[in-house]
């Protein structure tokens, strides 16, 4: 897998399911990832965990993200990921949520670069598909370990390292410090470094590449309600990276927008029934951002509970 010059959809728990990923792929995202799935869960409760790992052929290249604290479990789970047909495995070493870090996984691994290397090595040896690692700056604001953790991961065979340059303690506050992405790339000029964090508007992607020299850009929150952001970036990014085909129009027309939103809900309903429609409430709130009347529309979303009420709401508002 070559990540160079790619626009990557970030893993977002509860959001980047197969339906949303496909919409992003169709609109210029080059690579997508599942949300994080527990390695232990995959081994002990495969049926329950598989729902996080559903994907469709037309998403490819698609990676699965695992979290866990044990090299043995990550290694075994990585085999399952290959057997499920994924193109690569990503290991989460950045999740700041207490439920994950209390078990020694996610951002907790940043406090222990050696463990980061052992976990990566276990995955690389057993997966036989590329293994990537996603990290933050460090576990605490005072102790930034990203260079050591990245070194351990690369030495253990990681195909790429993604850096979201905030510490665990920062959660999502403050700004992502892109200078750290630059420092990581300078430290590992021959390795693949993926930059992530606060890419908000299309021009930010090329700006991040220009400022940091990173090989690829990962976008999370800016894609919420805006899967078209990737094709807008693709247009702006061509000069900077020189790869990929330009998509004809960056901004969707009103009709195109409406049709994608309808398709999003219909596909969610096909997969998950009315539960999928209830999940669409948050997407509708995101899709409506910046449109006049959005606040009133959001207040009505609790009544969107069937395919008919979804279609009616979309028909009325978009
Ligand atoms: C709601 C939400 C869920 C997230 N879930 C995950 C996850 O499952 N795995 C992961 O590695 N990062 C997760 N992240 C972090 C994002 O992948 C990304 O690193 C972060 O949001 C910064 O990028 P952005 O500024 O482009 O959003 C999540 C972030 C948010 C806001």
Model confidence pLDDT, tens digit, residues 122-160:
999 999 999 999 999 998 867 899 999 999 999 999 999
Residue 134 CA, closest ligand 1 atom number? 11
pLDDT beyond 70 at 170: yes
What is the Å distance from ligand 1's center to 221 Cα?
Answer: 7
Mean pLDDT of the chain: 93
What is the Å distance from ligand 1's center to 196 Cα?
Answer: 9
In sequence order, what DSSP letters do the residues of the chain get, joined into one string? ---TT-EEEPP-TTT--HHHHHHHHHTT--BEEEEEEEHHHHHH-HHHHHGGG---GGG-SEEEEEE-S-HHHHHHHHHHHHHHT-SEEEEEE----HHHHTTT-GGGGGG-HHHHHHHHHHHHHHH-S-EEEEEESEEETTEE-HHHHHHHHHHTT-SEEEEE-S-GGGTT-S---HHHHHHHHHH-TTS-EEEES---SHHHHHHHHHHH--SEEEE-GGGTT-TTHHHHHHHHHHHHH--SPPPS-SSPPHHHHHHHHHHHHHHHHHHHTHHHHHHHHHHHHHHHTTSTTHHHHHHTGGG--SHHHHHHHHHHH-
Spatial neighbors of 200 by CB under 8 A, at least 6 apart, are 221, 222
pLDDT beyond 80 at 41: yes
Q: What is the pLDDT of residue 243?
A: 45
Q: What is the pLDDT of residue 272?
A: 96
Nearest alpha-carbon partner for 55 in 20, 90, 3, 89: 20
Residue 90 CA, closest ligand 1 atom number? 11
Indicate if ligand 1 lies below 6 Å from the C-beta of 80. Answer: no
Q: Do the Cβ atoms of 110 and 83 come closer than 8 Å?
A: no
Pick the CATH number of 7-241 from 3.40.1280.10, 3.20.20.70, 3.40.50.1980, 3.40.50.300: 3.20.20.70
Indicate if ligand 1 lies below 6 Å from the C-beta of 194. Answer: no
Catalytic residue status for 214: no
Per-residue confidence band for 171, with pLDDT thresholds at 50, 70 and 90 = confident
Q: What is the pLDDT of residue 262?
A: 98
Distance CA 87, CA 92 (A): 16
Q: What is the pLDDT of residue 241?
A: 46
Residue whose CA lies nearest to ligand 1 atom number 5: 12
pLDDT beyond 80 at 240: no
Indicate if ligand 1 lies below 6 Å from the C-beta of 30. Answer: no
Is there a cis peptide before residue 61, judged by omega within 30 degrees of 0? Answer: yes
Q: What is the pLDDT of residue 141?
A: 67
Q: What is the pLDDT of residues 60-81, one digit of tens each?
A: 999 999 999 999 999 999 999 9
Q: What is the pLDDT of residue 84?
A: 97
In the chain, what percentage of residues exceed pLDDT 70?
95
Residue 219 CA, closest ligand 1 atom number? 26
Higher pLDDT, 59 or 247: 59
- For ligand 1, pick from 7, 8, 9, 13 the residue to mutate: most ligand atoms within 8 Å of CB: 13
Q: What is the pLDDT of residue 237?
A: 53
Nearest alpha-carbon partner for 218 in 164, 288, 271: 164
């Amino acid at each position: 897998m070559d990540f160079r010059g790619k626009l990557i959809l970030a893993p977002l728990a509860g959001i980047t399911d197969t339906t949303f990923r496909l919409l992003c792929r169709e609109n210029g995202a080059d690579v997508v990832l599942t949300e994080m799935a527990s390695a232990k869960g995959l081994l002990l409760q495969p049926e329950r965990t598989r729902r996080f790992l559903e994907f469709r052929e037309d998403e490819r290249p698609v990676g699965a993200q695992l979290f866990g604290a044990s090299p043995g479990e990550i290694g075994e789970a990585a085999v399952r990921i290959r057997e499920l047909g994924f193109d690569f495995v990503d290991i989460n070493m950045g999740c700041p949520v207490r439920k994950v870090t209390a078990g020694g996984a996610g951002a907790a691994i940043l406090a222990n670069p050696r463990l980061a290397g052992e976990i990566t090595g276990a995955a690389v040896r057993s997966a036989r598909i590329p293994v990537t690692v996603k990290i933050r700056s460090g576990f605490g604001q005072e102790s930034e370990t990203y260079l050591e953790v990245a070194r351990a991961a690369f030495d253990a065979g990681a195909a790429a390292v993604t850096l979201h340059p905030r510490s665990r303690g920062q959660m999502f506050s403050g700004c992502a410090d892109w200078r750290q992405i630059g420092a990581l790339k300078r430290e590992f000029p021959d390795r693949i470094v993926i930059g992530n964090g606060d890419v908000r508007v299309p021009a930010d992607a090329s700006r991040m590449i220009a400022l940091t020299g990173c090989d690829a850009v990962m976008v999370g929150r800016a894609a919420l309600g805006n899967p078209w952001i990737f094709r807008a970036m693709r247009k702006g990014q061509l000069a900077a990276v020189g790869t990929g085909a330009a998509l004809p129009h960056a901004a969707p027309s009103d009709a195109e927008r409406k049709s994608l939103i309808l398709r999003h809900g219909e596909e969610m309903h096909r997969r998950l029934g009315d539960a999928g429609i209830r999940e669409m409430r948050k997407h509708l709130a995101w899709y409506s951002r910046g449109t006049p009347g959005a606040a009133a529309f959001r207040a009505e979303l609790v009544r969107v509970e069937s395919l008919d009420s979804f279609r009616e709401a979309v028909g009325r508002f978009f």
